[in-house]
Amino acid sequence: MHRIVFLESESLIAELRRPNFAHDWVAYPNTAPDQVAERLAGATIAIINKAPISAATVNATSGLKMVAVAATGTNVVDLDACRASGIVVANVRGYAEHTVPEHVMALLLALSRNLLAWRETLQAGRWQQSDQFCLFDHPIRDLHGATLGLMGSGSLGNGVARLAEAFGMRVLRAERKDATSLRPGYTAFSTVLAEADAISLHCPLTAATRGLIGVAELQAMKRSALLINTARGGIVDEAALIQALQEGWIAGAGFDVVSVEPPGPDHPMLAPALLALPNFLLTPHVAWASRPAMQALADQLIDNIEAFVAGAPKNRVV
């Protein structure tokens, strides 16, 4: 009989049905990295979100047969170690194809229309003191007619493209940074940096994408450009981003992720001076977390486990 251990049950707010086969079910609200191996002792199926499955954990859990990731990103799993041990790894796909793009557009709209700056203006009493019906303290830009650069063209990037085009934006899909040729429908990475009025990141965090956006890339962007990251924090050099915002290399940034989550109290992306900037928006990794999206994730998660036990794994990464 399978023993299923869910290491982070509080990472999901949804009706999670039990699999349709005989099993033991153990759920922990949260699990620290140093608790993973101990809690997976005797487990045949592990359900994780961000709890790391390291090579050491794989070697210490001889009975583990499947890692069911309750997310799309699998950067927390040592895929090589799982492959070597015959452990199936499956992720959840497509569940956030509406909610993440909507969050991207919300960040773009808020920054383009300077909503935070306008809120500060009202709090300072500027409208109340005005001689006319409106104010012109802060510039407002339309999305219509602007160019959006997409880095990553999976279901989330495609969802953002669909909404952006509905707003009348021109969409450029960036080719890989180190590519020597262009795929049909793609634009050179350097061209996207130079031409985009906003760039939205939707690539996974891998060795190739870590630090994808650094000093050189930020300085190559328009000074009027916006950077949106709802992917993974490590894709952007955070020190470079902070410098870019402080020195005006770009016009603003909207992020839903940081390099370490949850961030410690001294994480530079949560510095009070940075969070007080009207051209920087940070949300706590919630772009994916609408209630419909989380329910879709929960349903697909159990589908993946049932498919594995039935001998026909789907959404398989390894």
Active site residues per annotation: 232, 261, 285
The answer to whether 3 and 26 have CB atoms below 8 angstroms apart is: yes
**What is the identity of the amino acid at 228?**
I
Residue 18 DSSP code? P
Task: Give the DSSP letter of residue 203.
Answer: -
Which residues have CB under 8 Å from 182's CB, separation 6+? 175, 188
What is the length of the chain? 318
**Sole residue written with tokens 């061209």:** 191
What is the β-pairing status of strands 88-90 and 147-151? Answer: unpaired
Q: What is the CA radius of gyration of the chain?
A: 22
Tally of CB atoms within 10 A around 187:
18
Left (φ > 0), alpha (ψ -120 to 50) or beta: where does 117 sit? Answer: alpha
Cβ atoms 185, 173 nearer than 8 A: yes
Q: Token digits for 63?
A: 């009975």
